[in-house]
Structure 1
Amino acid sequence: MSNYLFRKKPKIFYSSRSLQNRYLKVSYGELHEATNGFSSSNLVGAGSYGSVYRGYLLHFEQSVAVKVLNLEACGASKCFTAECKALEKIKHQNVLNILTYFSESLLHSDEVLESRNLNINLQLRVNIALDVANALDYLHHGSEQAVVHCDIKPSNVLIDDDFVAHLGDFGLARLLNVVMGHASRDQVSSSAIKGTIGYVPPEYGAGVRVSPQGDIYSYGILVLEMLTGKKPTDDMFGEGLTLHKFCMMAIPEGIPEIVDSRLLVPYTREGTGVVMDTNIRECLASFARIGVACSAELPVRRLGIKDVVMELNAIKQKLSF
């Protein structure tokens, strides 16, 4: 998927204690040079509050993503503060962490995934989905104060050179006090949440407060997009047809007809169409079921994140043979 990023491993490592005690010292000039003058060719993505650029810091021998806030945009500073607060105590291999800031924020990052057709590989997509699921499991259940990301989508998933996926951009994240059983001041009503069209769970539109189940819905849409190569806002969807329904109606026999054509390349033979063994068909159908179950309209019907992890591991094991 074109929205994913790629990074080279840093040759210099920093202990968690050193990162807690001080931010890394990086000048504006270094960031300007690292991003080729914030060139459009280095642009990873843009949102309501700013843009993200890829780059390479020579001094630290490390690839980075530079998030530049538009301070003239209403809510930009608040968004950055929320992201810092959400990431303050988060330490997980599939979650990005802030390294430093000075008006703009510097995130652990990756170079843009170049045109190498790596997204043809079903196993790679399953691994990415599993990494994101592990990140969500940690955010929702890894500490006393759960974190709801509120903006799960392809452009917020980064991939390193070992093809390990990392969940980033916590600007809309909210903290939940799961131990006390009530929302903290940061768990505001959905009317104050600006997610991304196509990935926002339907209950948020009805004024329901943000919850881990909302992240599960967005994650389900992400999985279905990875399966089909189609965005939830594709022109083909409308008048009652959604990405969720499109995939649900195809399970199981019609799955080969709806999957991303790049996934079918290894199984396509000239003159004979698609020739796919039973194991691959079952894995594709299972992957589709996960996405459909997670993106159910009612939160109570959505698949739990721990079940998602278990089922993806089962698919991964099948694909390894």
Structure 2
Amino acid sequence: MGGAEKSFLKECEVLRSIQHRNLLSIVTACSVVDYIGSVFKALVYKFMANGNLDRWLHHKGDETSHKPLSLTQRLTIVVNIADALDYLHHDCGRPTIHCDLKPSNVLLDDDMNALLADFGIAIFYHDSWSTSTGSISSSVGVNGTIGYISPEYAGRGRHSTSDDVYGFGIILLEMIIGKRPTDPMFKDGVSIVNFVDSNFPHEIVHVIDAHLAEEWKDFAQEKKASENAVHQCLVSVLQVAHSCTNPIPSERMNMKEIARRMLTVGIYIW
């Protein structure tokens, strides 16, 4: 695959300098020449038994169906992702931009803890303004994945930490409404962002994922939490998502503030 070696080397460079409980850590790496003279390179990670978040959010007919994620599980997962990004942006010593946030790059361990993976196109913050993104290849021809890329990236041509914040916001929306940002329903000027905004806050019950809507009713019936508490929890999550996906990058919260906010959201139902 074109660009594979650059991606391999970039991931090695990033992973050797970061370590966090919510980042998928490397077990070992190898680079050998096989019997026909071809170079073989591999990164080895611990096996994540519960696969990736995308498979839990969007079940496919040819896969063994997972039990739908509960609201508590979804909140725990987004707190894990936020903590990982807070570390990358602010606490790892060399600010790092992931550049490709999406559910398929969020892996889940045996206990359903989320670990952020795939640093093949990650960049260090101070390098983002001196390195042309054209030198980093990806499967979609841009440095990231369509639907999760910030609107300013195309015009600027350089990544910043605010791009990761935007991608995180899209994941939040996807986890609440159960639709990918590339779903066919989003067309003719309607995006996942303005679709949710147009129903926020009073009509969110009509746009949230069907499993969450059912759980909303169960919480009230079983008196685990009041219906209003669940509503306030969802409103708080969507308020964070709204800030993350603000079209003006400077008006988005940074990941440290987001991580703090996400920790407080769960008090409504935990």
Identity, in percent, stands at 34
Match of 1:12 in 2: none
In proportion to residue count, which structure has more helix? 2
Match of 2:27 in 1: 99
CA distance in 1, matches of 2:156, 2:116: 26
Offset at 1:212? 0.5
Map 1:1-321 onto structure 2 (within 5 A): 73-102=1-30, 103-112=41-50, 115-119=65-69, 121-177=70-126, 183=128, 187-189=131-133, 192=136, 193-268=142-217, 277-320=227-270
In proportion to residue count, which structure has more strand? 1
CA distance in 2, matches of 1:306, 1:203: 21
Aligned-residue Cα RMSD (Å) equals 2.2
CA distance in 2, matches of 1:304, 1:223: 15
CA-to-partner distance for each residue in 1:172-229, whole Å, 9 max, x for gaps? 100123xxxx7575x4347854211100111111134211001000110011000100
CA-to-partner distance for each residue in 1:43-96, whole Å, 9 max, x for gaps? xxxxxxxxxxxxxxxxxxxxxxxxxxxxxx110110111111111111100001
Offset at 1:251? 1.2
Tell me the number of residue pairs that the alignment of Structure 1 and Structure 2 aligns.
238
**Structure 1 residues 109 and 292: alpha-carbon distance in aligned structure 2, compared to 1, 3 A threshold:** farther
TM-score (norm 1): 0.69
**Structure 1 residues 82 and 211: alpha-carbon distance in aligned structure 2, compared to 1, 3 A threshold:** same
User: Equivalent residue of 2:7, what SS?
Assistant: helix
Q: Which runs of 5+ in 1 are unaligned?
A: 1-72, 270-275
Contact 1:83 1:169 in 2 (8 A): yes
User: Equivalent residue of 1:282, what SS?
Assistant: helix
Offset at 1:306? 1.7
Determine which structure has greater relative contact order: mean sequence separation of CA pairs < 8 Å that are 6+ residues apart, divided by chain length: 2
Contact 1:191 1:205 in 2 (8 A): no
Offset at 1:98? 1.5
CA distance in 1, matches of 2:184, 2:134: 26
User: Equivalent residue of 1:112, what SS?
Assistant: coil
CA distance in 1, matches of 2:156, 2:249: 14
CA distance in 2, matches of 1:167, 1:232: 19
CA distance in 1, matches of 2:118, 2:128: 22
Offset at 1:160? 1.2
**Structure 1 residues 183 and 150: alpha-carbon distance in aligned structure 2, compared to 1, 3 A threshold:** closer
Contact 1:190 1:205 in 2 (8 A): no
